[in-house]
Amino acid sequence: MSLLMVLLLMVQVVAKAGDLGGGSSGTPGTWYVGSNPSWVDPAKAPIVFIHGYNSSASVWWDGNDMYETALANGYQTAFIDLYPERDMWENGAMLAGKLRQIYEYFGYKKLVVVGHSKGGVDTQTALVHYGAHQYVSNVITLSSPHHGTQLSDLAHSSSAWWLAALLGNNNDATRSLQTGNMRYFRSITDGKAEAKLNRYYTLGGYKWGSFGSALYWGGLYLSSYGSNDGVVTVSSSRLPGGTIIREGAWNHTTIREGSHTFSVFKPYTMSEQPAGSNAFSAAESVAEPETNQIIKGGKAEKAIRESFVIEEGAESFQMAFLSEKKMASLKLKGPDGQEYKASRVEQDAGDFFKGAWVHTFKIEKPEAGSWKVSGPAASYLLVVGIDSPLDVELKKEKSQSLKASYKTKWIKYDHDGKKKLKEAGKGSKAGKVLDGDLAEPGVYNLTTEVTGVDTKGKPFERTIIESIYVDENGKTHR
């Protein structure tokens, strides 16, 4: 009778094999069962696929051969619609209950979970914090931001939040993936006994596309923080205590496609697969980011009139200009008066500024001085990445050859009783924010504008965006 009741409860939320077609319902909590292979190998665990942020279950079969590849390899499969815009706590709580239902549906066989992007974070939350570890053997994460992503930091910065909000991407999901908040998440997750009850395997990508492509500008921005796939850095895809399967030439889209990665993680879908020897340790260092970017943005009520300084000796720079609309009249003017138009215009396909129009410029041997950007009224964000010898000097903490001043703005977020982030205030400081300056616990999103002159007295500027976590003892984690 109890089994009958479970099956009856599932009727409203389960789509049977023949229903996997053009798309999913998108209704959070709905889960879908793939067709059974001609022969079910008892050594092969059923695979449950978890989508990422701003997505749905159909991402695994609509324009993707992951489902059919798994079926052709003899696997039973299931797929779940989570909340596309909510944080790991709400999704993790819901996912825990769905994993139990799927575990029972497949005859109490331990499941293997494959999570793409934020789906990997949601999965670990379900297993570690909501008790679902007992239904799962292995977890495979595909470019999951286990340490957050700097694109989320950017989306919540004082420069970019106007545009991110206009695009509908300032929500619980993006707030939760700020690097500062994920330091908090790691601090309350990695030490729990439940974190060691499942085997975790990770894949990361380091290919973000050709100039002007849909993930190019995100890769350009993240390149200051290391190798990345256009949305998540390789270092963030590594899970403390997990095993790195491979880090390859995938972007954030191809890493979840069956023809690209199924054969790579297939050996780790067997329920008795032992852990490998290349486990990632939380103690492994992450390289200090380059200081080679200028970031500006806001909401222009009438017309965009923006400027930035390129220093003498710069080899080149690239500018990605993002707005909610395509701008044929957008212009970039050099100090010598020469005007440039965008080389490429594409809509962003990443997670945090999805749908924004990205106007990309690339300037070789740029003239030193003030560069000006003009265009019609809009919410906008411009990111300038500079190839310059000055970057080496800027990385030297105590360089005597440069004179620089700093101005920092911050937005503070607090955790409420449900561990959600809510905005709690703003502030600014004339200078760098040092450890101890921000004493109140919480997550801080910092935007630091750097201006100065080099050894020849020539001006330069840079922008540093970061997210830090201040714990209950006032200790800064950055």
Q: List the CATH number of the domain containing 322.
A: 2.60.120.380
Residues 65 and 17 in one domain: yes
Residue 94 lies in a domain: yes
Residues 365 and 457 in one domain: no
Return the pLDDT at 330.
96
Name 467's bridge partners: 445
Q: How far is Cα 234 from Cα 474, in angstroms, rounded to an integer?
A: 30
Residues 306 and 410 in one domain: no
| Of the residues 388, 412, 429, the one at which a domain ends | 388
Tally of domains within the chain? 3
Residues 226 and 89 in one domain: yes
Q: How far is Cα 58 from Cα 76, in angstroms, rounded to an integer?
A: 16
For residue 241, the SS3 value is coil
| Of the residues 388, 410, 441, the one at which a domain ends | 388
Phi, psi of 416 (to 5 degrees): -85, -170
Residue 120 lies in a domain: yes
For residue 114, the SS3 value is strand
Residues 345 and 417 in one domain: no
| Pairing outcome for strands 243-248 and 199-205 | parallel
Residues 258 and 375 in one domain: no
Domain that holds residue 53: 12-269
Residues 182 and 229 in one domain: yes
Give the domain CATH number at 104.
3.40.50.1820
Residues 63 and 189 in one domain: yes
Residues 146 and 295 in one domain: no
| Pairing outcome for strands 459-470 and 442-453 | antiparallel
Residues 362 and 434 in one domain: no
Residue 190 lies in a domain: yes
Low-confidence ranges of the chain (pLDDT < 50): 1-19, 275-277, 281-285, 398
| Of the residues 214, 237, 269, the one at which a domain ends | 269
Residues 319 and 410 in one domain: no
Residue 276 lies in a domain: no
Residue 132 lies in a domain: yes
Q: How far is Cα 85 from Cα 388, in angstroms, rounded to an integer?
A: 38
Return the pLDDT at 273.
53
Return the pLDDT at 406.
93
Q: How far is Cα 328 from Cα 452, in angstroms, rounded to an integer?
A: 34
Single out the residue of 199, 260, 196, 208 nearest to residue 232, CA to CA. 208
Residue 1 lies in a domain: no
Residue 4 lies in a domain: no
Q: How far is Cα 316 from Cα 385, in angstroms, rounded to an integer?
A: 9
Residues 188 and 304 in one domain: no
Residue 7 lies in a domain: no
